[in-house]
Amino acid sequence: MVPLSWYMVLSMVVFSIGVFGFLSRRNIIIMFMSIELMLNAVNISLISFSYYIQDLRGQILAFFVIAVAASEAAIGLAIVIALFRNKATAHVDEIHEMKG
- Please state, in angstroms and rounded to a whole number, the distance separating the CA atoms of residues 37 and 52: 22
- Taking the complex as a whole, the smallest distance from the CB of residue 95 to another protein amounts, in Å, to 8
Residues near another protein, by CB under 8 A: 19, 22-23, 26, 31, 92-93, 95-100
- Please state, in angstroms and rounded to a whole number, the distance separating the CA atoms of residues 39 and 65: 7
Closer to another protein by CB, 54 or 93: give it.
Answer: 93
Closer to another protein by CB, 26 or 57: give it.
Answer: 26
- Taking the complex as a whole, the smallest distance from the CB of residue 57 to another protein amounts, in Å, to 23
Closer to another protein by CB, 1 or 98: give it.
Answer: 98
Q: How many CB atoms lie within 10 A of CB 18?
A: 21
- State the sign of the Cα–Cα–Cα–Cα dihedral 31, 34, 40, 41: negative
- Taking the complex as a whole, the smallest distance from the CB of residue 52 to another protein amounts, in Å, to 22
